[in-house]
Structure formats: C-alpha cells, structure tokens
Amino acid sequence: MKYIFSLIIVFNWTISGTVLAQINDEDIANVDQDGQWLAYGRGHDETRYAPLTDIDDGNVQQLGVEWFIDLPNDVGLVSTPLVIDGILYFIGTMNIVRAVDAVSGEIIWTYDPRVAEEVGNRKKVGFVHNRGLSFYGDKVFGATWDGRLFALDYKTGEEIWITRTFSIDAPLYITGTPKAFKGKVVIGNGGTENGPARGFITAYEAETGQEAWKFYIVPGDPANGFENSAMEMAAETWNR
C-alpha cells in the first residue's frame, strides 16, 4: 500500500504584521503577545496554547481547506510547524526541512540533509519521527536521525553549519527538537534499546556550531574514571 501524506492548512487567521527578522530570548519569552509560533510547543513553556481570537464558536463552522501540499515521499509528519512572519517551517521524513508561505502554500525552500546516504546500510527505522525545529537569531535549527545538528539560513534554507553529535556507529538516534536559548543550541538523543550507550545532552554555539559543553545523564564505568566531581559523588550511591 502506498501512503501519500499532505500538509493541510484548515484554518484562516490573520498573520501577525510584526516582522521579527531575528528571534531572541525575549521574543520567545513574550510569545503570547502575538500570533507567532516561535518554538516547539509555541514557547519555552511548551503550553501549545495560542491566544488568537479570530476563530470562535460563532465562525468555526466556516473553516475550510485553504490549500494543501502533497508530499509523496513523506511517510508521516509528526512535527508542529513554526509560524514566523507568515512563513511555516517544518521537518518531515528523512529530516527534510521546508519553508512554506502560510497564505499561498507555496514552498519557498527545501533542505535535504541526505540522511539515507549518511547512514548507508545501517538499519533505517524511525526516520519519520522528528518532533520539530527551533528558530533563534536568523537561523533555523534541526537535528537528524543519524546524530547531526544543523543550522540553516531562514531566508534561503542554505546550510550555515552542520556538526555530528555522536559517532555514526553509536547505537543512538535523535528524534527530538533542539532547544535554542542564550546563544546556545541544546540537543539530546535516544537509542539505548539499540545497544549499550550513555545518554547525554550537548550544547553548541548557535553562531558557529562549536561544542560548548556536554553533560552525561547516566553514569559510566567507575573503572574508567569520572568526567567531573559530580559523577564521582553520584557513584557512591549507585550500589545502594
């Protein structure tokens, strides 16, 4: 059976006239002041609540499809699009990113990180499961299933930088959304069901993609030493 997925817009609201150009921490903190959807869950609090009042119980029956886009190579869309200055940004199967005009449905640009080529013969499971993108400064940030983090020019979709967060051979994957704030982009990972691995969170400089810090959320082998004093103290409780 062949599945064809479409991005369907079934609302009709007034896009905020405010042109943000660049998104900063204050914009995301004050997201309730306009109709933008600046981050995963709308803001850092992830309430997924929009204060728009254009649609109510008096006109909801008038809603209809404004436009749709056929995405024949996508086998599922699980991310919520960002909505910024009248543009939708979303990530789909194989972690392909698209920017779409929210009024016309026209695709403005497409970015393909070529995940299938990167992983080669590695087991290809879970490529449809990516939760979304982040927008910070003048960049769109996303992550790939095979462990890469990337930054794109929000106007053109051009790749500004891309970095590997773990080895291609590691039993890990990324399906989560990067979090961008205070000049950093933070990303975690999953995959311990695929083999023994230590989960960790890594922060990168938003401008350059350079690693800023890494924090392991589970302990390692005490015989190999400790990354920091906190892990050494935690080790005393592991066998209790």
Q: What are phi and psi of 230, to 5 degrees?
A: -65, -45
Please check whether residue 89 lies inside any domain of the structure.
Answer: yes
pLDDT > 70: percent of the chain: 87
pLDDT digits (tens, 9 = 90+) for 210-223: 999 999 887 778 88
Question: Has residue 239 got a pLDDT over 90?
Answer: no
* One-letter identity of residue 194: N
Beta-bridge partner residues of 118: none
Domain total in the chain: 1
pLDDT digits (tens, 9 = 90+) for 139-179: 999 999 999 999 999 999 999 999 999 998 888 999 999 99
pLDDT digits (tens, 9 = 90+) for 32-45: 766 789 999 898 88
d(CA 177, CA 101) in angstroms, rounded, equals 22
d(CA 128, CA 141) in angstroms, rounded, equals 17
Q: How many residues does the chain have?
A: 240
Please check whether residue 52 lies inside any domain of the structure.
Answer: yes
CATH of the domain at 84: 2.140.10.10
Q: Domain residues for 213?
A: 5-235
pLDDT band of 201, cuts 50, 70, 90: very high
Decide: helix, strand or coil at residue 200: strand
Please check whether residue 123 lies inside any domain of the structure.
Answer: yes
d(CA 15, CA 130) in angstroms, rounded, equals 26
Q: What is the pTM of this model?
A: 0.87
